[in-house]
A = this chain, B = another copy of it.
Amino acid sequence: MKIEIVTIGDELLIGQVVDTNSAWIGKQFNNSGFEINRITSVKDTEAEILNILKETSRRADVVLLTGGLGPTKDDITKVTMCKFFGAKLVFNDEVFEDIKILLKDRVSSINELNKQQAMVPDNCTVIRNPVGTAPVMWFEHGGTIFVSMPGVPSEMKHAVEGNILPRLISRFKSSEIIHKTVLIHNIPEAVLAEMLEFWENALPEFISVAYLPSPGRIRLRLTAKGQNKRELESSLQKVIDQLYPIVGEAILGYDDVSTVKIIFDLFIKNKLTLATAESCTGGNIAHQITLIPGSSNIFKGSVVAYHNHIKTGMLGVDERTLEKNGAVSKEVVEQMALGAKKSLKSDYAMATSGIAGPGGGSELKPVGTVWIAVAGPNGVISNQFKFGHIRERNIIRSTEKALVMLKHMVEKDLV
């Protein structure tokens, strides 16, 4: 079965908005054993929308469309679909009810534009949308199913999870697809590929492998395809078990999760608490931790010490040490970690101090120089890193490294 995604909107083509909807849909469908064959983003002109409808109707069994259903004039998906499917717009009472309920607290009265959103094509199945003003439309045309959804991520997600995916699952028998991801830390891609050459050549036909590099780590993705889920799972597990003898300690984990999620699980499991003292990461470590639901169970807080008087005043860094070694130094970052652990009353603490750039570098300490320290019940350790010139990347890599250093310290302490 061939499934395609079509996202509609000029904002995608001029780069004002990144298409995150497609990735989300791809993940959900894959988890249910469906493959997405292609993703296309088109402009919101009638000609382009008609073109892609015609093309996909020849190629695909299911076409999932998002975008262009809002109340404003630039939203032309609905009228264009009417043209393509030869439909007339009719007023739908149920949809109007939904709109009225939704807007009750938001506007003083329903205006004409919102009322028009209750007009729906007369030859489609209308799927009501309780979280937005545009309903979902399900067309069947010449053997292809077209589902038109709002582009607002929360509305699209609600429709896919609650209705569209369950409908497609009950109608089409899908084959099983299983992905497993092995997280590998700090080995360059080509070196890893050479290490894994024999292992890769010995993989069974139905298992494929892909390398996904990102700052500081590689996600090794294994995909197994077939009919029997249990057999696929045990085959995958067998080849994954062969990796540790080859790659060893560089394996960070066996799920496609962020390093911060690995830390969260480790701290929850062992009832530990955490704090951060951040200079160059500017609160990003705290932010990444607190994005996780339930993080208040492990996270005490953070001192973002951008200015030196905060390092001395709130974290107890010694003024002479600071003057002698500078803020970006082993001595200061270790005192920051120990100070955070003490004053925020946590079991462990991470500290960062570096030159994120683009300005502020010197010959001795160029942009990208970062000191990271981790403090725990058995003392403090620190490392210096040389990252690159790009500010955002330096913040991300510093965050990642701090978390990996913390993971190693906690695992050692737990032995």
Contact = CB atoms under 8 A, between A and B. Distances in A.
Contacts of A223: 10
A35 interface: yes
Contacts of A301: 303-307, 310
A72 B219 contact: no
A14 B179 contact: yes
Interface residues of A, number: 106
Interface string A46-79: 0010000000000000000000001111100000
Contacts of A27: 14-16
Given A194-B113, A283-B283, A307-B300, A26 B14 contact: yes
Contact of A291 (B9, B24, B72, B395): B395
Contacts of A392: 291
A166 interface: no
A189 B72 contact: yes
A74 B208 contact: yes
> Interface SS of chain A: helix, strand, loop or mixed?
mixed
22 contacts: A13-B35, A14-B26, A15-B28, A16-B23, A16-B221, A16-B256, A19-B19, A38-B40, A38-B42, A38-B43, A107-B190, A276-B304, A282-B290, A283-B290, A283-B302, A287-B287, A290-B395, A293-B358, A293-B391, A301-B303, A302-B303, A314-B343
Interface string A211-237: 111000001010100000000000000
Given A9-B210, A17-B212, 5 more contacts: A12-B39, A16-B23, A18-B19, A74-B210, A107-B190
Contacts of A211: 70, 72, 74
Nearest to A212: B11
Contact of A310 (B26, B181, B300, B356): B300
A25 interface: yes
A238 to B, nearest CB: 20
A191 interface: yes
